[in-house]
Amino acid sequence: MTLNKYSPVLLVIPSILLISCSQNKVSETSSVTESSRVSDSSEPVAMLEPAPVIVVDAASSASVASLEKAADASAAADSSMALESTMAEPDKMQSSEPALQAQSGIVTAGEWNDLDNWRYWNQLIDKRDFATHLDHWQVYPKHRVSVSIQSNQKPVTNAIVQLVKKSDDQQHTKPEVVWTARTDNKGSAVLWAHFFKDTQSVKFDNYKLRVNGHEIDQNIYPHNQQVMSLNLNKAYVKPVAKKADIAFIVDATGSMQDEIDFLKRDLQSVIHSVKDSNNQINIETAAVFYRDRSSNGAQEEYLVRKDDFGNLNNTLQFIQKQNADGGGDYPEAVDVALDTAINKLDWSDNAHARIAFLLLDAPPHHEPEVLASIQQSIVQAAAKGIKIIPITASGIDKETELLMRSLAMGTNGTYTFITDDSGVGNAHIEASVGDYEVEKLNALMIRLIKEYTDFH
């Protein structure tokens, strides 16, 4: 392809998880366990022993900062130079991977998961230019709570997890749910405080967790201090289907024809490859194509088109009828597309995986109502357990990159981006990330779908 443009009973086991840019992690497991108090259940739950970890002695655990520094020492030499380069000149950052020899018809891409590189993300947004990009979109992925739920040593999928602000008798306020998420196929959920408000710090003493409607008696800590590891009694695990819903949200303006052609040609092999690796999973697909409200005064042919969840052949037939056109200005109706995909497609409530790929090369508009719509879509996608995985093409700027990475983080997804390594198409800005592997785009999509749909 040629690019032509640019519980319920819960046993709580705190587990300190130190996050660094490297793949090496230092953990500390607390010996204190607490069970949630649920008056309507008398069934006992066996204690789940924590897995062996590297234990940090008291002398070296005086502060989280010192532990993180020790955990990061082995990675500092590898990542600091790349990060410094990214901060100073984000548009000129070079991939650490050797460029692939240019081959016609090969689209290359990279992936960067900010949730797995939390320290790197926080260092990035400490820089003024990048903080300004977050201000532009009014999204602030800073105050994160990470939850991992198991039952009988297996991940619990599709559990509803809520971060609740406690009531305040003096202020006469009632408990308030500030974020809702669902555990993914790995049993993990990500919750956020003040995602749409720039707040320097959060007093997590004022918050509590709720799982499947039942509160747990456990202190809440930010991600850089502790991951909440919960063991749920099997009797309170809701059944899930071996089913994955995968939607493709596609910018269909004039500059996106080759990306649409990519889907027409490669989507069938992508999905079949996933099915062949695990034929027990029932995969349903859907598609949303969007343009803009108007283009320099000219009316677009349509604003949004959708094909609801069904078999792959139906989705492919729909995509085959689509072509790129219009979109004379830079921003497009991303907000309408997200709202349509999240709220008007028939997502399965008991599926064990839900993924929405967002393929685009331009940002949304910047009117207040558009920002409000995007914020609402992030909240709703997280609550429904839909991972948003952006795939950004040439033409996006740094503001758009930061928004897409925030969309991914808010929904427990990951960020992907087309690169110049194939030597075809117009130039793409270098993503402001650390070391990443250059892959063919179709292989990258296969890998991510397999990772997020694997049934444990």
State the SS3 of the chain. CCCCCCCCCEEEEEEEECCCCCCCCCEEECCCCEECCCCCCCCCCCCCCCCCCCCCCHHHCCCHHHHHHHHHHHHHHHHHHHHHHHHHCHHHCCCCCCCCCCCCCCCEEEEECCCCCHHHHHHHHCCHHHHHHHHHHCCCCCEEEEEEEEECCEECCCCEEEEEECCECCCCECCEEEEEEECCCCCEEEEEECCCCCCCCCCHHHEEEEECCEECCCCCCCCCCCEEEEEECHHHCCCCEEEEEEEEEEECCHHHHHHHHHHHHHHHHHHHHHHHHCCCCEEEEEEEEECCCEECCEECCCCEEEEEEECHHHHHHHHHCCCCCCCCCCCECHHHHHHHHHHCCCCCCCEEEEEEEEEECCCECCCHHHHHHHHHHHHHHHHHCCEEEEEECCCCCHHHHHHHHHHHHHCCCCEEEECCCCCCCCCCCCCCCCCCCCEEHHHHHHHHHHHHHCCC
The answer to which of 104-113, 213-222, 401-410 has the lowest mean pLDDT is 104-113
User: Does residue 440 lie within any of the structural domains?
Assistant: yes
Same domain assignment for residues 207 and 271: no
User: Is 108 part of a structural domain of the chain?
Assistant: no
198 & 343 share domain: no
212 with 288, same domain: the answer is no
Q: Are residues 322 and 449 in the same domain?
A: yes
- Domain with residue 35: its CATH number is 2.60.40
Q: 30: pLDDT confidence band, cut at 50, 70 and 90?
A: very low
State the average pLDDT over residues 425-437.
Answer: 88
Q: What percent of the chain has pLDDT over 70?
A: 74
Q: Are residues 279 and 167 in the same domain?
A: no
Residue 216 binned pLDDT confidence (cut-offs 50, 70, 90): confident
Count structural domains, the chain.
2
Classify residue 2: in a domain, yes or no: no
Instruction: Band the pLDDT of 295: cuts 50, 70, 90.
Output: low
Q: What is the CATH number of the domain that holds 303?
A: 3.40.50.410
* Residues 268, 229 share a domain: no
At residue 83 the predicted structure's pLDDT band, cuts being 50, 70 and 90, is very low
Domain-embedded: residue 134: no
Q: What is the pLDDT averaged over residues 55-84? A: 37
Residue 44 has pLDDT above 60, yes or no: no
The residue out of 178, 210, 236 marking a domain boundary is 236
Same domain assignment for residues 155 and 24: yes
pLDDT at 107 (0 to 100): 87
What residue numbers bound the domain in which 176 lies?
Answer: 10-55+139-236
Give 32's pLDDT tier (boundaries 50, 70, 90).
very low
pLDDT of residue 233: 86
Q: What is the pLDDT of residues 250-285, one digit of tens each?
A: 999 988 888 888 899 899 999 999 989 888 899 999
Candidate from 100-104, 242-246, 349-353 with smallest mean pLDDT: 100-104
**pLDDT score at 426:** 66
